[in-house]
Amino acid sequence: MISLLNNLTVTIGKNMRRYREQCGRTQKEVAQLLNIDAQYYGEAERGRKRLSLECLTELCSFYRIPLDCLIPVPIREDESDREKALAELETVLDGCTADQLRLLRLLARDVRDFTGAAPSGAQEE
């Protein structure tokens, strides 16, 4: 759970930095807007500190973006969506070589591990 929270903190920080840079603002300017210390804000962008929800919503208002642009929200799919996606994936994989399949399997594991745990009942090869 702590690792997941740390990953989320880093992701939020990266998103904060991306939007700040897109607006051409400095960390100091954004920190002043939020009425917080510039060093603390910099640490938050690096994923070492966490901003309050109030600060994050204020940032979103400033950048005119929804909160889920800063805080990634996991998408829940129903089983039929999952089955359809698996069928489409199987079609794509049919034309792959063994080396390509091994690479894709590793990539899929990395994506799964980055976005959360495997569904219950899933087995690792």
Is pLDDT at 30 greater than 70 in this prediction? Answer: yes
Torsion sign, CA atoms 74, 109, 97, 121: negative
Which residue in the block uniquely carries the two structure tokens 């603002």? 25
| Residues near 116 by beta carbon (within 8 Å), at least 6 away in sequence | 4, 74
The structure tokens listed for 90 are: 């199987």
Inter-residue contact 81 to 70 (CB < 8 Å): no
Structure pTM? 0.57
The average pLDDT across 46-65 equals: 93
Residue 16's pLDDT band, with cuts at 50, 70 and 90, is very high
pLDDT at 122: 47
pLDDT at 29: 97
Average pLDDT, the chain: 84
With 0-12 CB in 10 A as exposed, 13-18 as middle and 19+ as buried, what is 34?
buried
Share of the chain above pLDDT 70, in %: 82
Is pLDDT at 117 greater than 60 in this prediction? Answer: no
The average pLDDT across 74-92 equals: 73
